[in-house]
Amino acid sequence: MNLKFSRAGLPVLFVVAGLIGCGGVSEMTKDRVARSETAVKQAQQNLGNSEAGAVELQQAQDHLEQARRALDAKKEEPAMRHAQQAELAAELAISKAQSASAVRAAEELQASIRTLREEAARGSTSTATDTN
């Protein structure tokens, strides 16, 4: 078999050979792992000492570690998959922490309203007895 390559086709051949032969990881995957690292850091900051979202944060950290290992091993698909899962778990952790915080704030507000109503009821009762 006699193959002839034109000069214009050689760069394409080198690019294809480089993609196949190198077994490297694309910039897109590296960027995705970097984004997941940022998401996990943000989740850590948002959660602080909160227990809400702690399980999901741990899962995010575990997936991030697996993504880093896959990246080091030049395994594109597992690196991308674990990076995506790390980012999603981090977002879920933040959402759970925010939800728990909102529930606490609502409960505090309801307790304040109850206290105000009780004070208002006592005030109207004492005013009624004072006028008698």
Residue 6 lies in a domain: no
Cα gap 75→71, rounded to integer Å? 6
Q: Residue 4 is which amino acid? A: K
Q: Residue 8 is which amino acid? A: A
Q: pLDDT confidence of 14, banded at 50, 70, 90?
A: very low
pLDDT of amino acid 127: 58
Query: Could you tell me if 79 and 33 are in contact, meaning their C-beta atoms sit under 8 angstroms apart?
Result: yes
Residue 128 lies in a domain: no
pLDDT > 70: percent of the chain: 77
Count of the separate structural domains present in the chain: 1
Find the helix packing angle between 54-72 and 27-47, rounded to 10°.
Answer: 160
CA 114 from centre of chain: 37
Residue 131 lies in a domain: no
CA 111 from centre of chain: 32
Residue 15 lies in a domain: no
Residue 30 lies in a domain: yes
Helices in 1-132 by DSSP H: which ranges? 9-22, 27-47, 54-72, 76-131
Query: Lowest-pLDDT range, 10-14, 21-25, 37-41, 99-103?
Result: 10-14
Residue 1 lies in a domain: no
94: containing domain: 25-123
Q: Residues 48, 99, 62, CA angle at the centre, nearest 5°?
A: 50
Residue 49 lies in a domain: yes
Residue 116 lies in a domain: yes
pLDDT of amino acid 49: 78
Average pLDDT, stretch 74-89?
A: 95
Kindly report whether the global pTM for this prediction surpasses the value 0.75: no
Query: Over 80: is that where the pLDDT of 113 sits?
Result: yes
Q: How many residues does the chain have?
A: 132
